[in-house]
Amino acid sequence: MKVGTDGVLLGAWAGGMSSCGSILDIGTGSGVVALMLAQRYEGARIVGIEINEDACEQACENFESSPWRESLWAKHCSLQDFACVCEDVYDLIVSNPPFFKDSLKNPNENRSLARHADTLPHSVLLELAAQLLHPEGLFCVILPSDLIDEFLGLALVQGLYECRRMDVHPASHTPPKRTMLALSKKKSASPARERLIIETDGRHCYSEDYQKLTKAFYLDK
C-alpha cells in the first residue's frame, strides 16, 4: 500500500502528550502511522490492527525491518474481533478510517476496503475506540472536513469530546480538505483549533508549517 499524505499528517500530529506507554493503530495499512509514532514515543507498546491480509503482511515486514521492531506488533483482524478479546486500554488510539459511504466502489478490493466505511461504520469505530481508550487517553483521527460535524455528533453519544483540531488546507486559497481531531473522555472548555496549509506558491512548494510538522520523518530534508 502507498504512503499517503493523510497517514503522514496523522502520524506527525496525533498525540501531543509528553509520554505515552501504549498505542493502538486501527487500520494500520502498511504501518506508516505506527512507525512514525514509534519514532516519536520510543519505548511505547504499539499494536497495529488491519483487516486486509496483504496489508497486514506488509506492516509486519515494515515493523520487523525497523529500529523499533521490539515495540511493534501487527494483527490481522477487524476492530470488532480485536475489541472482543482485548483486555487492555490504550493511552493513544489513532485511525485513518474508511470514509466513503454509498458511493461507487473501486474494483480493486484492497483499496475499496481501505476507503469504504461498510466494514467499519464510524458509529462502531467510535464505540469501540471509547471502550479501548484509557480514561486519560486520546483518540486521534483524520477525516474529510465535510464529515467532521457528523463524526463529532456520533462521538458525543460515546462520551468522547473534541479537545484539539487541525484543519488542513491544500493551499492558502482553498477550504480545508481534511481535518484531524483529538478526542478525549474529558470535556474541554475551549478545544484547541489549528490551521495547516500544505502548499504555497504552487505544486510541491510546501509551507514552513508543513515542513516543520513532518521534517523528522523524511529522509530528504
pLDDT for 12: 97
Q: Which helix (H) or strand (E) holds 36?
A: helix 32-40
Rounded to an integer, the average pLDDT of 161-173 is 96
Q: In 3D, which of 150, 143, 138 has the Cα closest to residue 94?
A: 138
Q: In 3D, which of 115, 128, 32 has the Cα closest to residue 74?
A: 32
Name the pairing type of β-strands 133-144 and 192-199. Answer: unpaired
Is 50 exceeded by the pLDDT of residue 179? yes
- Could you state, in order of their start, the residue ranges of all structural domains in the chain? 15-192
Residue 66 to residues 29, 139, 217, Cα–Cα distance (Å):
16, 25, 13
DSSP 165-217: EEEEEEETTS--SEEEEEEESS--SS-EEEEEEEESSSTT-B-HHHHHHHGGG
C-alpha span between 71 and 47 (Å, rounded): 8
User: Across-strand partners of 162?
Assistant: 183
Q: How far does CA 56 lie from the centroid of its chain? A: 16
State the pTM of this model: 0.90
Give the model's confidence band at 103: pLDDT under 50 very low, under 70 low, under 90 confident, else very high.
very low
CATH superfamily name and code, 15-192: Vaccinia Virus protein VP39 (3.40.50.150)
Mean per-residue pLDDT over the chain, rounded: 90
pLDDT for 18: 84
16-56: per-residue pLDDT in tens?
888 899 999 999 999 999 999 999 999 999 999 999 999 99
